[in-house]
Amino acid sequence: MFARGLCSIVFLTPCIAREIPSLFMIKSLFLWTRCLAGAIAIFALFYNIQLSGAAVSTALSYLASVFVIVLSTIFLRERLSRREWMGIIIVLSASVVLHLPIKSVAGSLTLFIGLLGAFAGGVAMTALKQTTGQEIGSYPQYF
């Protein structure tokens, strides 16, 4: 993963060198937010895998979609129906139930780091949703 990112920087930087100043403009704030929050989410996932194993870590990281919905409702002014809110409550409840048997092994640190990673992932995806279609430099953000 690190090698892939390093190769991308080395080989793709010359292609976008003239666009680099546009990355430091105020309209690039959501792109930077997405990068930093995404990095926090990945670090939290891998750290949590070390603490509690892949099953619990993955289940907690999948909560990012719940945070995307909540953050989109708050910041992007999207509307949710009662049925969607009930779905969010069911998903959160199921995550807590999944975590209960593991609680004695890794403690509340696992839950905290997992939720932090899921929240950071939600922030990253919401920021990406906000930047999608906006142009930063001459390249529209569709990824």
- Would you kindly state where each structural domain of the chain is located, as residue ranges? 30-135
pLDDT at residue number 136: 44
Q: What is the pLDDT of residue 10?
A: 83
Beta-carbon-side half-sphere exposure of residue 54 (alpha carbons within 13 Å): 0
Q: What is the structure's pLDDT at 120?
A: 92
Q: Which two tokens stand for residue 90?
A: 């069911």
As given in the structure block, the two tokens for residue 69 are 């919905």
Do 96 and 106 meet the contact criterion of CB atoms below 8 Å apart?
Answer: no
Q: At residue 113, does pLDDT exceed 80?
A: yes
Per the confidence metrics, is the pTM higher than 0.85? no
What are phi and psi for residue 91, nearest 5 degrees? -65, -45
Q: What is the number of alpha carbons within 13 Å of residue 3 lying toward its C-beta?
A: 0
Mean of pLDDT values over 113-125: 89
Residue 1 scores a pLDDT above 50: yes
Q: What pLDDT is attached to residue 40?
A: 92
